[in-house]
Chains A and B, each alone.
Chain A
Amino acid sequence: MAMTVKFEKRLNPSVAMNVAVPLLSVLAAFLLGAVFLTLTDRDPVEVYETMFKGALGSRYGLSETIVKAIPLMLCALGISAAFRMQLWNIGAEGQFYMGAFAASALPLKFPDLPAILMLPGMLVLGCLAGGLWGLVPAVLRARWKVNEIITTLMLNYVAILWVDYLVYGPWKDPKGFNFPLSAKFSATAALPTFGDSRIHVGLLLAVLLAILFWIVFEKSRWGYEIKVIGSSEQAARYAGMDIRANVYKVMLLSGAVCGLAGMAEVSGIVGRLQPNLSPGYGYTAIIVAWISKLNPAAILVVAILFGALQVGGFFVQTTGVPASVASMLQGAVLFFVVGGEFLTKYRIVLSRKEVV
């Protein structure tokens, strides 16, 4: 008797697997992480315990987890819009920085602006800058088929260097003891927070946007059009859909939401423009979006998990373990999710065969 293993394509993707795969992937990533921790003479149980307790074990940890989850939610939502159309926007990080830059211009250049104009103005500027930063690769892609993965990524470096230039140069606070920081924003430029926590109304914006995204992408005619273009450009063209215009619209929207994330971060958390605003939110958000299968509700939940991972990485640093352990784990989760998708599409069939 011999066993043979066969993969059979499922007619419909398995729902159970859609839930099980991400959960198992997180587990598998932590196991893989444990291997590397053990190899480098660390006790994985201790490291994970520190991360877990740090991120979720106290009021402060929990609130920090939400604080880190907000930019992840917003960026992942932005990314999801582009991914729906098979537009690989890897540029959330740069769009985040451009949003932060443009939003900062208002309180820095017009600190006495009436409160009623300040926050809305920053919001508009942040969205606009992020959107335009996303539009550049869109135009190149729509007109000349320039690979948007590379262009969006290259623009990340440009945006980060641009913000560096500003805070090391023209926007440096003259009273800042030569630190690369802009002047502090006025109180009118700060997003309101919940109670005495650092959690700001960016959370509310993310939830509202998630609902809006669900309506737009699942229920509206335009959302349907995006879906069609995403699954087959040719079919969409036959149906008379304007692909170029939709590439522009989607990347503008995608970039704008990531820009909003940058605005929310400088306004709600930092209170000034500074380098290293993001520990890679724009990249982590790609993982968040993909694991969530671009579903807005799932994005909110997964973003909190990854926010916790980020905070856990911060806590584990105090015990001498590099914080990059968190980004290693995040990358590993994505591996397993990507590999695990096989299980949602295929069924493993074991059959016994008589050996003649």
Chain B
Amino acid sequence: MGEQAFFIAILSSAVIAGTPILYAALGELITEKAGVTNLGVEGMMLIGAVSGFMAAIVTGNSWIGLLAAMLAGGAMGLIHAILTVSLRANQVVSGLALALFGSGLSGYLGKAYIGIPVTEPFRSLPLPVLGDIPFLGPVLFRHDVLVYLSWGLVLTLWFFLKRTRAGLFLQAIGENPGAADSLGIHVFGVRYLYVIVGGMLCGVGGAYLSLASAPSWLENMTAGRGWIAVALVIFALWRPGRALVGAYLFGGIDALGFHLQAAGVHLSHFFLQMLPYIFTITVLTVVMAKRGGRLAAPGALGLPYDREER
């Protein structure tokens, strides 16, 4: 394989490997913007992956699968919202409960579906003209439709947060719910909304694995990607554009291991598999050290809101 072909292969798989993390990270990003931490991303992705897969097998239609994954992820979000917004539960522990429950439930539901192929997975859909650009074409424009949709989502989210009233309200709630409340913004309702929407996007991230990139179901197939997505939001400093770059960076590390092995590099594949996890720790440390521990995190992140304690 020529050098350029090798790079194209790596970069193109970086996009594929980064896409599920990107969806999940965008979901986590808007949840956190509303002031709620969700550590259940891993569980939500798994539930999304398995329910999307099951629905796609039963109906033979991957779009219905995607819808099912969104609904299931949203339902997990609803649970998190009830626990953390209404019942003011500890957000860390509630998220852990989601992660553990999601792993167990998806394993239970998916047992009968291991080894079954999807009839109509999301296949790559080369864009006309753009797909023919040398180098960039195969890297960026010969993917499945969910990759293109994720770019649209990044743009929409950026515009929503920067330019719209609802986006400003969302951020106000995450920064200072008390002040937002006195402006007449319905803090509880908005938090419910964005925790649920965040869950839906995590569901899409999971379904991307089971319906597009794998495409099959395996127990715990997310392999920590949900947690990497949580880390990615910090790395992205809560900005959608940086989340995109970060997701492809993580995807690249993921893909690098695989491609180095295929190229015959003499390093045990167990070490190559460690790369994304070690990279996550390293990147997070570098970001924190560079910023002296001060982040642009939403001011009220992780704190339950109690009207009477305003």
Contacts and interface: CB of A to CB of B under 8 A. Distances in A.
A168 B277 contact: no
B3 to A, nearest CB: 29
Interface in B68-95: 79, 82-83, 87-90, 92-94
A158 B234 contact: no
A169 interface: yes
A18 interface: no
A332 interface: yes
Interface stretch (B4-12, B104-112, B172-180, B186-194): B104-112
Interface string B28-68: 00000000000100010000000000000000000000000
Contacts of A339: 82-83, 87, 89
A157 B92 contact: no
Interface in B100-127: 100-105, 107-109, 111
A153 B270 contact: no
A340 to B, nearest CB: 9
Contact of B100 (A9, A149, A161, A330): A330
Given A165-B268, A334-B97, A150 B280 contact: yes
Interface size class of B (residues with CB under 8 A): 35 or more
B268 A169 contact: yes
Given A339-B83, A339-B89, A158 B107 contact: no
Given A327-B100, A331-B100, A161 B284 contact: no
Nearest to B308: A9
Interface in B256-272: 268, 270-271
B130 interface: no
A338 B83 contact: yes
A155 B293 contact: no
Contacts of A328: 101, 104-105, 107-108
Contacts of B129: none
B104 A324 contact: yes
Label chain A's interface by main secondary structure: helix
Nearest to B101: A331
Interface string A112-144: 000000000000000000000000000010011
Contact of A154 (B99, B107, B273, B280): B280
B224 A164 contact: no
A283 B96 CA distance: 9
Contacts of A342: 87-89
Interface string A205-246: 000000000000000000000000000000000000000000
Contacts of B82: 339
Interface of A: 9, 36, 40, 88, 90, 140, 143-147, 149-151, 153-155, 157-158, 161-162, 164-165, 168-169, 283-284, 286-287, 290, 322, 324-332, 334-335, 338-339, 341-342, 345
For the complex of A and B, list the 6 residue pairs with the smallest distance between their C-beta atoms, beginning with the closest.
Answer: A331-B101, A327-B104, A324-B107, A328-B104, A145-B293, A165-B270
